Amino acid sequence: MQREAWAVLLLLLAGAAVFAHVTTTTEEYSRYNVGWNGTSGFAGAEIRDLRDIDPGATLLVLAPDRPFTPEEVGTLRAFLDNGGRVLIADEEGAANDLLADLGSAMRVRPGNLSSLDRGHADPGLFVGYAVGNASLFAGIETILLNHPAAVEGGEPLLKTSVLTWDDADADSRPSGEEVFETAVICASEGNLTVLGDPSLFINAMLAENPEFIDNLQPVLIDATHSRTGTTNPIINTRVWIQETPPAAAALAILVVLPVVYRFGRKENE
Amino acid sequence: MNRRASQIILAAAAVLALLLLAGEATAPILYTATDTSTAAHADPATVQKRSPGNADALVPLMDDLLGQTGTLTLTIKLKDYESAESDLARYSELSRQFDRLVVTLDVSGTDIGEFQRNNRQNQEALTALLNDTRRFEDLQRLEIEVRGDDEQHATVVYEGEALRQKMREGFAAYAEKETEMTRIAEHYDLNATPYQESVEHFAEAANAAAGWREKIGGGTGGGTGGGGAPRSPLMIAVTPTEGRYGDTLLVAGTYAGGLPGNPVEIYIDSRIVETVIFDENGTYQYAYRVGRILAGSHLAYATAGAVFSEVATFEILPRNTSITLALAEVNRTAVACTGNLTTAEGVPVTDAPVLLRVDGGTLISTQTDQNGTYTKHITLAAGEHTLRAEFHAAGYPLNASESQEETVLVQGEGLSPLPFIAALAAVIGTGWYLQRRRQRPEESPVVEVPEVTDRVEEAAEQPPQVDIKGLPPREAATLLFRTLRLRLGLAETKTPRDCARLIPTHAGFFKRYELIRYAGETPSEEELRTMEREALGGDPDAA
């Protein structure tokens, strides 16, 4: 009996290790990354076809890395015109083409923003201050930022203190031609909001700005253009099976058939 | 599924689990989760927390400093010296706080550093303005009192002229910074108005001196002793008129009425720096070595008794510096930091403060000696540390400098023997416990059923005696079966089939007996002899 218990335990351990490996990833921003830099802990339903968005919903485009087709841009524009809200969180400037196509003057300016206004040794982890009365920052005075980018244009919603500089030489201190100046991290134009810090949605940051995350809910995540997807083929297959009823049914049959066969054979014996 | 297949599956599962876990186990994040970051972000939970360093006080302090200049110059202009003293003390305290903050936050290289340097010079200028204005008021009063006494009157006028020139120079230096200070103030959204007003107040205080000069009959001409002002008989000159840190400037002059051996006091920026004496020719001289003095215009004058010289000006120009840092291990926890602070031309900077910045934050201060060398032993926690030496040049006519960043690996205190002793004690204790536990069954009155193998060995040591002569063949076979079962230590409840399954090496014997016992077969004599040999401990294959 003891030997059997050990065998079951071993099999469970091996199964858990295999399961954890094939169903998780370490990719940045991935919904299947349960580590600090994944977004598995961020509550938000994924949407793969922009035409399926309900008018009036809030759509989050998180760290986009795939271009939008003209049709998708048109869909987004119509969505905005009909009262929908779009939040684009980007720090690499990948969203600038989309912003231009949407007719927005806002742009993401990639850089290495650092600040003295911080409570961490890392100069890229610093405080931003909410300005104005946008619902996204309702009840919030400060936000902990994580290596954000500046946003140009639009109406500022979140700014840094003046003791902020673009640390171009990455020496973690203001030097050379680097100057202190306030940077805008989040700005809006109507229903379109641009946030220069997608890191606010990673697992490690969720507990740092809980009110901000709450204010955003409910939210849909654009899974087609965001980096929340993954390149892991096993996970992609699992997701495809989950989202494709015939495939799920076929898999269920594949699992059930051997069991039925086995039981049938035993009864005959 | 047979036993071997199960074992293979379990072994494969174990190897797989170990491999997968080993892959993760080697990840350092499990053990040293510090500064975990990627290009896009950092994990705040693993980044060292630090005090904000009062950074939010930096800009308000700048605002306070600008505001304080306006208040201070106004009280000086209004000749409210008691309030002015108080304002100056407050201004000096704010400046000290600001200086500390600039160094702590490591922002000397920014426009805030520029603001700090200008503020330092402004502080000097306003201190001089307060002293000069107060002295000037005394002179105005004296001038009225000594009218009629030409010699004393001339003395007062000489000193007044010296002060007038000094205040004019001081104002020029103060006003020169207005543009830059205003620009910085606007950049940080500070209120520059009080500072701009302070420039106006300063100008009014300096002009008051010029007005008095005109009133007592002096001219308005510029330059040292220029215009119609009475020329002092005590001459003074500074040569060369420009110098840098480490240079020597000669302050010298003559006085027709100077008796050999009489003292002459030399003042630089209103502070007495040396007392020298006249020689036989009525001349004096003093070699002034440029040391800790701000870059810019400075004033020198001399006094011999009641006679004041005119004011001579000279310029101190800034010099670049360089500082080195070398690290050497002193012991497992301490590091010796040594280096040299020199000007770009190699002149050692003596008795100068040096800061050692550890890991970009902590500051440790030390000082250079007469050779410009500094040494400091610092104790650090175990691990890798970065150190940099910095010279902030506060009060020196030198530009700030910093060394290359050096890295040192501190081993830390040797491991305490206590954990090892505890671990050893735990191992010994565990061994002792297991040993006792193993011995306990023998001591215990409770008799446990021995394992089959033990019983087999025990029984094998004492071969049973059996005699089958005269017995019918089937009964003889039964007796041999029981003998063998007993020898093998098997329970009497075990059937031949059970015995064959439990002891496969004697399976032939037991199967044969099963046929005799249950199938009614009768063994031959030859078979019985073979079975007897096996039952008594012979070769089982022979059965």
For residue B449, the 8-state DSSP code is P
Q: B106, A162: Cβ pair inside 8 Å?
A: no
Interface test with B, best of A122, A161, A181, A208 (most B CBs within 10 A): A122
Q: How confident is the model at residue A17 (pLDDT cuts 50, 70, 90)?
A: confident
Mean pLDDT score, B320-327:
94
A21 touches chain B (CB under 8 A): yes
> Is A29 within a domain?
no
pLDDT class for B239, splitting at 50, 70, 90?
very high
Residues A169 and A217 both lie in one domain: yes
pLDDT-based confidence at residue B61 (cuts at 50, 70, 90): very high
A162/B49 touch (CB, cutoff 8 Å), yes or no: no
Q: Residue window 80-119, chain A: list those with CB within 8 Å of chain B.
A: 91, 116-119
The answer to whether the beta carbons of residues B376 and B337 sit under 8 Å apart is yes
| pLDDT above 80: residue B224 | no
pLDDT for B443 equals: 47
Is A75 within the bounds of a domain? yes
Please state, as a whole number, how many other Cβ atoms lie within 10 Å of the Cβ of residue A107.
19
- Judge: A37–B50 Cβ closer than 8 Å, yes or no: no
CB–CB contact B188 A116 (8 Å): no
Asked if B263 reaches chain A (Cβ–Cβ under 8 Å), the answer is: no
Which residue among B45, B56, B107 sits closest to A174, beta carbon to beta carbon? B107
Tokens of B330: 């002193």
Same domain, A239 and A207: no
Chain A positions in Cβ-Cβ contact with residue B59 (cut-off 8 Å): 162-163
B445 band by pLDDT with thresholds 50, 70 and 90: very low
Q: Does A161 touch chain B (CB under 8 A)?
A: yes
pLDDT at B39 over 60: yes
Region of poorest pLDDT, from B330-344, B372-386, B427-441: B427-441
Q: Could you tell me the CATH number of the domain that includes residue A109?
A: 3.40.50
Which residue segment(s) compose the domain that A106 sits in? 45-222
Which secondary structure element, helix H or strand E, spans residue A128, and what is its range?
strand A125-130
Residue A134 domain flag: yes
Tell me whether residues A205 and B55 touch, CB distance under 8 A: no
Q: What is the band of B34 on the pLDDT scale with cuts at 50, 70, 90? A: low
Predicted pLDDT of residue B1:
54
For residue A177, tell me if it sits in a domain: yes
Cβ separation of A116 and B59 shorter than 8 Å?
A: no
Are A211 and A91 contained in the same domain? yes
Do the beta carbons of residue B126 and residue B91 sit within 8 Å?
yes
What's the CA gap between A60 and A220, in Å, rounded? 6
Question: What amino acid occupies position B1?
Answer: M
Considering only CB atoms, B55 lies closest to which of A37, A63, A116, namely: A116
Ramachandran class of B468: left when φ > 0, alpha when ψ lies in -120 to 50, beta otherwise: alpha
pLDDT digits (tens, 9 = 90+) for B270-293: 788 999 999 998 999 999 999 988
Query: Is the CB of A205 less than 8 angstroms away from the CB of B44?
Result: yes
Q: Which residues of A touch B21 (CB under 8 A)?
A: 17
Mind telling me how many Å the CA of B17 is from chain A's nearest CA? 4
For residue A113, which phi and psi values (nearest 5 degrees)? Answer: -65, 135
Contact check, Cβ <8 Å, A21/B20: yes
The CA R_g of chain A, rounded to the nearest whole Å, is 23
B17 contacts on A by Cβ (under 8 Å) = 10, 13-14, 17
Q: Does pLDDT of B459 surpass 60? A: no
Identity of the residue numbered B300: A
Identify the pLDDT of residue B216. Answer: 66
Report in angstroms the alpha-carbon separations of B510 from B465, B506, B516, B526: 19, 7, 10, 16
Across the range A71-75, mean pLDDT stands at 94
Question: For chain B, which domains are there?
Answer: 56-229 (no CATH), 232-317 (2.60.40.10), 321-410 (2.60.40.10), 452-542 (no CATH)
* Interchain pair B42, A124: CB under 8 A: yes
Q: Is the pLDDT of residue B310 over 90?
A: no
Query: Any chain A CB within 8 A of the CB of B419?
Result: no
| A100 and A216 part of one domain | yes
Which tens digits make up the pLDDT trace of A129-185? Answer: 999 888 999 999 999 999 999 999 999 999 999 999 999 988 888 888 899 999 999
- Same domain assignment for residues A115 and A154: yes
Residue A11 lies in a domain: no
Task: Give the residue ranges of DSSP H helices in chain A.
Answer: 2-23, 70-81, 96-101, 203-206, 210-216, 233-243, 245-268
Q: Please, which residues have CB within 8 angstroms of residue B97's CB and are 6 or more apart in sequence?
A: B57, B61
- Smallest Cα–Cα separation from A148: which of A134, A163, A131, A127? A127
Evaluate if residue A268 carries a pLDDT over 70. no
- pTM listed for this prediction: 0.68
Q: Which pLDDT band, with edges at 50, 70 and 90, does B398 fall under? A: very high
Same domain for A96 and A126, yes or no, is: yes
Residue B365's CB: how many other CB atoms inside 10 A? 11
Chain A residues closer than 8 Å to B358 by CB: none
Query: A172 and chain B: CB distance < 8 Å anywhere?
Result: yes
pLDDT over 70 percentage in chain B: 87
Phi then psi dihedrals of residue B439, to 5 deg: -80, -25
**DSSP string covering B133-200, please?**
HHHHHHHHHHHHHTTT-HHHHHHHHHHHHHHHHHHHHHHHHHHHTHHHHHHHHHHTT---HHHHHHHH
Q: Is A25 part of a structural domain of the chain?
A: no
Q: How confident is the model at residue B222 (pLDDT cuts 50, 70, 90)?
A: very low
Which of A91, A120, A208 is opposite residue B48, by nearest beta carbon?
A120
pLDDT at B227: 46
Indicate the residue of B20, B52, B111 with minimum beta-carbon distance to A179. Answer: B111
Burial of B368 (0-12, 13-18, 19+ CB in 10 A): buried
Q: Are strands A155-160 and A125-130 parallel, antiparallel or unpaired?
A: antiparallel
Nearest CB partner across the interface for A119, out of B14, B49, B360: B49
Whether A203 and A269 share a structural domain: no
pLDDT of residue B32: 56
Whether residues A124 and A156 share a domain: the answer is yes
Spatial CA neighbour of A123 closest among B364, B187, B360: B360
State pLDDT tens for residues B473-511.
888 999 999 888 888 888 888 889 889 988 888 889 998
Nearest to B369 by CA among B339, B334, B394, B400: B339
pLDDT (tens digit per residue) in B361-393? 788 999 999 999 999 999 888 888 899 999 988
Contact A120 B189 (CB under 8 A): no
Whether A71 and A179 map to the same domain: the answer is yes
Residue B397 clears pLDDT 60, i.e. is over it: yes
Of the candidates A149, A226, A225, the residue with the CA atom closest to the CA atom of residue A187: A149
The answer to whether the CB atoms of B44 and A208 lie below 8 A apart is yes
The neighbouring-strand residues paired with B321 are B343
Give the model's pLDDT for residue B5.
Answer: 78
Q: Which of B40, B111, B189 sits opposite A147 (nearest CB)?
A: B40
Mean pLDDT (chain A) is 89
Instruction: Report yes or no: B463 and B536 within 8 Å, Cβ to Cβ.
Output: yes
CA distance B126 to B91: 10
The least confident of B11-25, B91-105, B154-168, B222-236 is: B222-236
If you average pLDDT over each of A107-111, B106-110, B254-258, which comes out highest?
A107-111
Asked if residue A1 belongs to a domain, the reply is: no
- Which residues, numbered 209 to 268 in chain A, qualify as contacts with chain B under a Cβ-Cβ cut-off of 8 Å? none
Within this chain, do residues A160 and A261 fall inside the same structural domain, yes or no? Answer: no
Residue A155 belongs to a domain:
yes
What pLDDT does residue B410 have?
85
Q: What percent of chain B has pLDDT over 90?
A: 34
Q: Please indicate, yes or no, whether residues A134 and A211 belong to a single structural domain of this protein.
A: yes
Q: What total number of domains does chain A contain?
A: 2
pLDDT band at B28, cuts 50/70/90? Answer: low
* Nearest residue, CB atoms, B105 vs list A116, A176, A199: A116
Nearest to A37 among B38, B56, B188 (CB): B38
B126-153, pLDDT tens digit by residue?
998 998 888 888 888 888 887 787 777 7
DSSP characters over B85-110: HHHHHHHHHHHHHHHHHHHHTT-TTS
Answer yes or no: do A124 and A236 share one domain. Answer: no
